[in-house]
Structure 1
């Protein structure tokens, strides 16, 4: 999966998880949207098409054909959009990369995995349920845990604390860097380079 050598580049579906609409645009739970939007911006992939329950676009990233997508189903139904896109483009789940927030990682930590469970993330859980497999790559980035005993639902649907905003913006940039490495050089190299904290 996403190995270094390929006879020909396979199309990758790169999905950022989040909730649609301006109300959620800067919230922790929309970090996946932010990262895929940054990747698309860097590579001139216009996220201007609407269909398959997503906003999406096609282009090249590190020489590889990529479909970048933002599901418009709301987080808990993300699997509907992902399944629709994979089906339309006849892609297997092994060519899917999902970028999403993670409460169990501190802000400023990234983790790359080739497979695994949902670990309580309802968007990822929806994808696993609809695809019937957990055999797809994911890039997780930490948003940490509440400081002030806020309910988790409230915490993830709000923005970063004021003293975290700079690091949050940096994390989006570094996560987009990581996606570039996943797409261009493979999961193993991305794990080696990005499984460490970074500073702002």
Structure 2
């Protein structure tokens, strides 16, 4: 069993913001698979699943707000007894230029509050990640304002391709190990 998690914040005011790129990818993946994500009270998020070659694949968008994402991830981990090595977290990364994508198997939170929450709740730093670059804020702009801002017109075009590529990588992971995904997409 594998768990794919897209990070973001719930609510219309956060839709299409840089911080919600994980939600956007999860929506793209669900649409491509013909799966509708539905609110699930126990999991504190939107959730659904499908099967690939006899293996259950779970999709999750935590609705706990970014800073408490670990609460939702932990609820799913406990319910299905999922090993952290079978989790893939998709999130925004300030330290990568806009449109850059990096795949990792482990690491710290790098100041990302959603990852910090997941590490705290999961009790480990060892889980798969897709880091999607949103770039650093321009001089004089706060980090908070930057991550809660929408992509500009030029960036939106780049991010559409990134979303397609990451969706494809997520589908590849459902049928392969993460090393294969890293070799193919990094």
TM-score normalised by the shorter chain: which range applies? over 0.9
How much does 1:189 deviate? 2.0
Output the CA distance in 2 between the equivalents of 1:70 and 1:106. Answer: 24
Specify every segment of 5 or more residues in structure 1 that has no aligned partner in the other structure, as ranges: 1-10, 196-200
Q: Name the structure 1 match of 2:18.
A: 28
Output the CA distance in 2 between the equivalents of 1:63 and 1:111. Answer: 28
How much does 1:155 deviate? 0.4
Q: Name the structure 1 match of 2:51.
A: 60
Q: 1:154 aligned to 2:154?
A: no
How does the TM-score come out when normalised to structure 2? 0.94
Distance 1:104 1:61, change over 3 A: farther
Output the CA distance in 2 between the equivalents of 1:31 and 1:60. Answer: 24
Q: In the alignment, which of 143, 159, 171 is matched to residue 168 of structure 1?
A: 159
Output the CA distance in 2 between the equivalents of 1:141 and 1:64. Answer: 27
Q: Name the structure 2 match of 1:114.
A: 105
Q: In the alignment, which of 130, 134, 144 is matched to residue 143 of structure 1?
A: 134
Q: In the alignment, which of 92, 110, 116 is matched to residue 101 of structure 1?
A: 92
SS in 2 for 1:140: strand
SS in 2 for 1:167: helix
SS in 1 for 2:126: coil
How much does 1:49 deviate? 3.9
- After TM superposition, the runs of 4+ consecutive aligned structure 1 residues lying more than 6 A away are none
Deviation readout 1:174-199 (Å, 9 max, x if unpaired): 1111111222222222212222xxxx
Between Structure 1 and Structure 2, how many residues are aligned? 185
Q: Name the structure 2 match of 1:75.
A: 66
Output the CA distance in 2 between the equivalents of 1:105 and 1:64. Answer: 33
Q: 1:41 aligned to 2:36?
A: no
Segment of structure 1 superposing worse, 82-91 or 71-80: 82-91
Segment of structure 1 superposing worse, 61-70 or 77-86: 61-70
Output the CA distance in 1 between the equivalents of 2:76 and 2:143. Answer: 30
SS in 2 for 1:58: strand
State the Cα RMSD in Å: 1.4
Distance 1:58 1:143, change over 3 A: same
Alignment map for 1:1-20 (pairs within 5 Å) = 11-20=1-10
Contact 1:57 1:69 in 2 (8 A): yes
